[in-house]
Amino acid sequence: MELNDRITLSLPCKAEYVSVARLTASGIAYRMGFDIDTVEDIKVAVSEVCSRLINVSKNSDGEYEILYEIDDNRLKVTFSSKNIERAGCIFEDDKDGLGVSIIKAFMDEVEFCPDNKDYILSMTKFIEEKS
């Protein structure tokens, strides 16, 4: 049977909850059968987006959602928010670029600033075929 599950996590824009996003990401990735190093990579990439979101959000009452779309061969993670100003392009003026480098290195596909104004970023990791 083909997998097509969706899990949504809604979090306040507060630094103390980034670890919750990390735990959820690693739990889902591990459940899908990613190897332990890849689970770690996905966890780090998710955490980087959360941190950046919190840095750019001026309103600590803001919230954001992380949607995990689980297919047989890939995990797609989409971040969205309805109440964070300029949330669409959170990495636009990321000066040091460390977060961007990490996300690009660890995920197979990354879509920054998607057209939909509520979406912030979308990133995908494919499960490697076991030989």
**Per-residue x/- track, 54-83, another protein (CB under 8 A):** xx----------------------------
Positive or negative: CA dihedral 11, 17, 18, 22: negative
Which lies closer to another protein via its Cβ, residue 70 or residue 112? 112
Write down the residue that tokens 């690009």 correspond to.
Answer: 104
The answer to whether 96 contacts another protein (rule: CB under 8 A) is yes
Specify which residues 69 forms β-bridges with: 6, 76
Q: How far is CA 74 from CA 40, 77, 123, 129, in A?
A: 16, 10, 10, 11
The answer to whether 3 contacts another protein (rule: CB under 8 A) is no
- Whole-angstrom distance, CA of residue 58 vs CA of residue 89: 14
The answer to whether 101 contacts another protein (rule: CB under 8 A) is yes
- Residue ranges that bind another protein, judged by CB under 8 A: 15-20, 22, 37, 40, 44, 47-48, 50-51, 54-55, 96, 98-99, 101-102, 105-106
